[in-house]
Structure 1
Amino acid sequence: MKKFKWQKYVWPFVATILIAGGGFLYWQWQREKLALINENIGISNSLSSSLASISAQLTLLKEEDQVVKNNQLAAEVKQINTAFKNASAQYEEMLDLRDSGVKINKIEVLFGPLLADLAKMDYGAATLKTATISAKIKEEKAKSLPIVGVLNLASVPESNVPPGSGFSRQKVKVGEQFFVVDVVAADLSNTRVIVDTASEGDCGDNCPVLPLATYVSRNGAIAGINGSYFCPATYPTCANKKNPFDTLLMNKNKKYFNSDNNVYSTVPAVIFSGTSAKFVSQSLQWGRDTGVDAVLANYPLLVSGKSLATGDSSDEKLAAAGNRAFIANKGSMVYIGVVRGVSVVGSARVLVEMGMDNALNLDSGGSTALWFGGYKYGPGRDIPNAILLVRR
């Protein structure tokens, strides 16, 4: 009997087991891989579906809430703001006319229907009415210029030379046009320039104001003129800041006003000390010296070194024809006055023709007032500060 040779069949058997086991493991791996792929596909589909749902919700939010409603609200707010801004600006222009001595009854009656439209939130109708009122204001301004601007031009003597002293009303020729100037002249050798204020210190709201005549009388001044820009209490835009001014000023008591918020101010200023006048293009160029007689900042600087120092302005109030108050010097002579019926740059051109060395624009419109033995222009509205000429 032959002996069984089991060694002969061991390796084939092992190979078979290995192949079978490997095949099973490969099948199991493929199965798990397929399951994972299917799971990933499911997750991807679910994520895609979720993103689509979120996108749809976002679109809905944009259409119904975030964009449409906000845009509608923004448009409505813009309408309200525009209507209020236009109405306020026209009301303030109307007040300026009234304070300049112009009868404004015909304009006042137009504001009733405008306010009714605003109350009903009919901003379209309000916009149309503001356009009508604006045209009427321009018409009344044009009519008023012969009264408060040009006067009777033929009766006013012509001269481009400022007076040597005292008051003069003269027409100055600039090119082919004539402009009426009311001007007071004084020599700094015997006259001191001071600034008086109704308030004793800085004031941001409900600030005191006085007529120019009161400033003149309580200081025994020979002449006076209104001072820096301020926010009149009658203006709708000044509801929360009635009558303050925010530019640099030193009054007769050596008290500086608005000092902290004008450290870096670019607003021009004039400084009087003894027999000299110093005009600076920016307030920041001046410290807080109390050894001088007066300091007042305002804008714009009209004349500097006998040359025009300002150009056409984009500010409608500065660009419009009106009556422009100024303070100027020529050597040791000081001049205060009003150029009638001109824009700010027009006022500057007139003062250049008069030979002024330097000149600074002052508050104008309904605030304009000039005193020399009585009102030569004005009285205008009550003001928070005034420039005065007093004898030494």
Structure 2
Amino acid sequence: MILKTTILVVIFVAISIGAFYYYKKTTSQILLMQSNKIKLDQALKTASIDLKNLKSQDQYKINKDLESKVKNIETTYTKAVSAYEKLLDLKSVTKKTEKLDSSFADILTLLSERNYSSAEAYLLVFEKEIDTEKQKILVSFQIPANVPEKNTPPGSGYSSQVVKSDVGDFLVGIISADLNSTRVIVDTTSDSDCKNDCPVMSLGDYVSRSGAFAGINGSYFCPADYPSCSDKKNSFDTLAMNKNKKYINSDNNVYSTVPAVIFSGNSARFVEQSLEWGRDTGVDAVLAMQPLLVSGGNIAFNGDGEPKRGSKGSRSFVGATGSTAYIGVVFNATVAEAAHVIHTMGIQNALNLDDGGSTALWSGGYKAGPGRNLPNVLLFVGK
């Protein structure tokens, strides 16, 4: 019995010692596992942070690269549109543009291949070539030898004359009309606002349908062949009242600072800002344009840094002195030079009209143009 008890004690002690060492080993393993888990958690946390940062950095870089690419595309596209519109303007004064047409086709190929840097470089050269070609045309412009020199407008009717101004000699085509026997009207293809794909007609067709004896192109509009006008083809946004007493673009010109001319009876009124004029339909015509060239017998425009106004071209205008109205074109002049020429002629008030490829002047036939088809024109009609 004693032996049996001793054996049991020994076994118990052995089991206890084994259990102790097992517990100790297990506890050590558990602690090690816990330690490893903590380290793993820390490692995972660190990796997660690093991954997040990496993703953030990669995305930022991707976004910056994308932003840069988009900017390059937009910049190059804008330059391409500008260059093409310059080419269109050049085509309005010369048909010899085959070489430039070919060069632009090459640029379009580069753009289609997404070679924006090369396209941009070619565009710089292309625009210089256009400027060079335009300069050649301007230099080659000569006033015909048989045109008389005259610094006053005709008493009535059409006159082609050379005006000797303080800024040079200029060829001018001008039509005078007595407002006691002539009504000035604005004719438009639409009787309401038009934002895109607006109807247009030639000046000759306007003259014919209104029974006018003279006419000229009207205000600035967005030509359908300009890429920048793709969503506003042939639209204009300045104020006008046409022959049907319909005001066009009235709502968006309530606070307009664009100058305007108002014809009523035997007089004309020029305002520096359209907002000065209400919506009276008792007058004959209202047409807003810019800039005001001559006001109260003084030159009102001497340039503003705008490239198109500062380049030479055909400059259309409408003017008035007392009860006499004038429409005309100053050829091969900047807008500021046109103001000086009109002032030299003694015209008391004058407003610039659209020009370039839109220039058109009619008196028994085209005296300038016909140019583009137009959404609005200014006409002389007998009373």
Question: Contact 1:224/1:371 (CA < 8 Å) preserved in 2?
Answer: yes
Q: Output the aligned Cα RMSD.
A: 2.1
1:211-234 Cα deviation digits (max 9, x unpaired)? 000001111111100001111111
State which of 136, 142, 145 in structure 2 corresponds to 1:154: 145
Task: Give SS of 1:193's match.
Answer: strand
Quote the Cα distance in structure 1 between the aligned partners of 2:177 and 2:49: 78
Question: Contact 1:210/1:384 (CA < 8 Å) preserved in 2?
Answer: yes
Give yes or no for the alignment of 1:141 onto 2:141: no
Query: 1:321 maps to what in 2?
Result: 312
Q: Which residue identity does 1:64 align to in structure 2?
A: D
Give yes or no for the alignment of 1:173 onto 2:164: yes
Query: 2:200 maps to what in 1?
Result: 209
For these two proteins, the number of residue pairs brought into alignment is 342
For residues 109-120 of structure 1, the aligned pairs below 5 Å read: 109-120=102-113
TM-score by length of 2: 0.84
Change (3 A) 1:176 1:54: same
Give yes or no for the alignment of 1:124 onto 2:114: no
How many angstroms does 1:328 deviate by?
A: 0.7
How many angstroms does 1:365 deviate by?
A: 1.0
Instruction: Give unmatched runs, 5+ long, in structure 1.
Output: 1-48
Give yes or no for the alignment of 1:276 onto 2:276: no
Change (3 A) 1:50 1:274: farther
Quote the Cα distance in structure 1 between the aligned partners of 2:284 and 2:45: 75
1:139-174 Cα deviation digits (max 9, x unpaired)? 222233367xx4434332222111111111112122
State which of 273, 276, 285 in structure 2 corresponds to 1:285: 276
Q: Which residue identity does 1:65 align to in structure 2?
A: Q
Quote the Cα distance in structure 2 between the aligned partners of 1:159 and 1:106: 40
Query: 2:191 maps to what in 1?
Result: 200
Quote the Cα distance in structure 1 between the aligned partners of 2:171 and 2:350: 17
State which of 234, 257, 268 in structure 2 corresponds to 1:243: 234
Instruction: Give unmatched runs, 5+ long, in structure 2.
Output: 1-42
Quote the Cα distance in structure 1 between the aligned partners of 2:348 and 2:331: 20
Quote the Cα distance in structure 2 between the aligned partners of 1:106 and 1:322: 22
For residues 1-392 of structure 1, the aligned pairs below 5 Å read: 60-61=54-55, 63-66=57-60, 68-100=61-93, 102-145=95-138, 150-175=141-166, 177-392=168-383
Quote the Cα distance in structure 2 between the aligned partners of 1:60 and 1:179: 68
Task: Give SS of 2:290's match.
Answer: coil
Question: Contact 2:185/2:242 (CA < 8 Å) preserved in 1?
Answer: yes
Question: Contact 1:102/1:144 (CA < 8 Å) preserved in 2?
Answer: no
Q: Which residue identity does 1:328 align to in structure 2?
A: G
Task: Give SS of 1:155's match.
Answer: coil
- Greater shift in the superposed pair: 282-291 or 179-188: 179-188
TM-score by length of 1: 0.82
Question: Contact 1:225/1:387 (CA < 8 Å) preserved in 2?
Answer: yes
